[in-house]
Amino acid sequence: MIPAVFDRLAALPDLDGVTGRTIRSVFPRPALIRLEGRRPNPVFIAVMQHGDETVGLDVLKRLQAWMATHPLPRSLWVFVGNVEAAEAGKRRLSPETDFNRLWAGGTTPLHAMAGGIKAELAAAKPFAAIDFHNNTGANPHYSLVHGLGPEDRHLASLFSPNAILTLTPPAMMSLAMRKLCPSVTAECGQAKDPQGGEAGFDFLMAVLHLDRWHSEEDRELRLYEITGRVEVNPEASIGFEAGTDADLELPASLEKWNFFERPANSVFARLPLGHCPLSVIDEAGKDLTARFLSVEGDRVVLKRDVTPVMLTTSVAAIRDDCLCYFMEPPEARS
């Protein structure tokens, strides 16, 4: 069921002991929490837009403990998203309830909710926006950025030296908010790793304490651009060990490839049954498979240097999203 309303709060409820699966004990519905700080232009953060990505809840718990002895240096607006999916331990309950695909307009009550929040935020002249997420596979922390201006680069550098420039999908929160203020998605590793919550909290603290944007990033920023989304035919079987009887054989250690360049002419996968179920699609929907991959016997070979991200050994995650994305430095695109 798609909720038509959300709750408005002026303080965080007691989050002690709350987990993703029990979050509806304190947030029975999506919620917008407006916390007043010394500087009025708020930082806007979104948490739990995907129900099984709990790093945002960890950040809120750390924030609540910190606020017990510290005043907020800047106002903070918090959107708590897909609590029904969180209760079920799922990313979303259906395709139309992906909360991170609501922010560019639409016809459902959820679209109206997101549009109303965005309009209120615009009137408040926000300072920055951050959407907290987890990854399914093992990845270093990184941000998604949507511009190359000094504010974009400064904001991204406060979280991680790794950043990915992307302009799709337009309905994701951080991209939609980019029209209002510097905005990023903070990808905080896997939900089971407590370091993600710590890194997310430190990032939020750094942004809340800023009084202005710098013309240079605080630390060196390694910027990538997504050049292809690697998809697996939904009818294909997938295996993760040598000798598997599957359409697509991938190494069990492939998550270690994330954010490391894979050179041209290296083997990306094997095809025990002889046909290739992989395709590479760019952000505009164009098929770029022939540009990136070749089939040589039972091997899938890379035709150019690429850096993969979001590789995972979770078959469910691959089916729900994709195998990975290929990245290159912006200057490498041709």
Residues 251-285: pLDDT tens digits?
999 999 999 999 999 999 999 998 999 999 998 88
What letter would DSSP give residue 298? T
Q: Pick the residue with more confidence: 5 or 165?
A: 165
- Mean local confidence (pLDDT), 310-318: 92
- Mean local confidence (pLDDT), 55-69: 98
- Mean local confidence (pLDDT), 96-119: 96
The pLDDT of residue 203 is: 98
24 and 83 Cβ atoms separated by less than 8 Å: yes
CATH code of 7-220, in short, is 3.40.630.10
CA 302-305-310 angle, to 5 degrees, is: 80
pLDDT tier for residue 199 given thresholds of 50, 70 and 90: very high
Q: Which two tokens stand for residue 126?
A: 């926000």
User: What are the start-end ranges of the H helices in the chain?
Assistant: 55-67, 83-88, 109-124, 150-157, 173-177, 194-208, 289-292, 315-320
pLDDT tier for residue 330 given thresholds of 50, 70 and 90: confident
pLDDT tier for residue 246 given thresholds of 50, 70 and 90: very high
188 and 196 Cβ atoms separated by less than 8 Å: yes
The backbone region for 77, taken as left when phi is positive above 0, alpha when psi lies in -120 to 50, beta otherwise, is: beta
* CA atoms of 35 and 67, how far apart (whole Å): 11
- Percent residues over pLDDT 70 in the chain: 98
**pTM of the full predicted structure?**
0.90
Sheet containing strand 238-239, edge to edge, reads: 238-239, 248-249, 267-270, 299-302, 293-296
DSSP secondary structure string for all residues of 224-285:
EEEEEEEEE-TT--EE-STT--SSEE--TTGGGGTTSPBPTT-EEEE-TTS---EEEE-TTS
pLDDT tier for residue 2 given thresholds of 50, 70 and 90: low
**With 90 as the cut, is the pLDDT of residue 180 above it?**
yes
pLDDT tier for residue 156 given thresholds of 50, 70 and 90: very high
The pLDDT of residue 3 is: 53
Where exactly are the structural domains of the chain? 7-220, 224-332
If you average pLDDT over every residue of the chain, what do you get? Answer: 94
pLDDT tier for residue 215 given thresholds of 50, 70 and 90: confident
- Mean local confidence (pLDDT), 196-216: 96
Q: Which two tokens stand for residue 263?
A: 């050179």
- Mean local confidence (pLDDT), 307-330: 92
For 142, how many CA atoms within 13 A lie in the half-sphere containing its CB? 21
The pLDDT of residue 332 is: 58
**With 60 as the cut, is the pLDDT of residue 333 above it?**
no
- Mean local confidence (pLDDT), 162-182: 95
* CA atoms of 305 and 199, how far apart (whole Å): 30
**With 70 as the cut, is the pLDDT of residue 162 above it?**
yes
Q: Which two tokens stand for residue 13?
A: 């409820």
The pLDDT of residue 208 is: 98
**With 60 as the cut, is the pLDDT of residue 96 above it?**
yes
The pLDDT of residue 242 is: 74
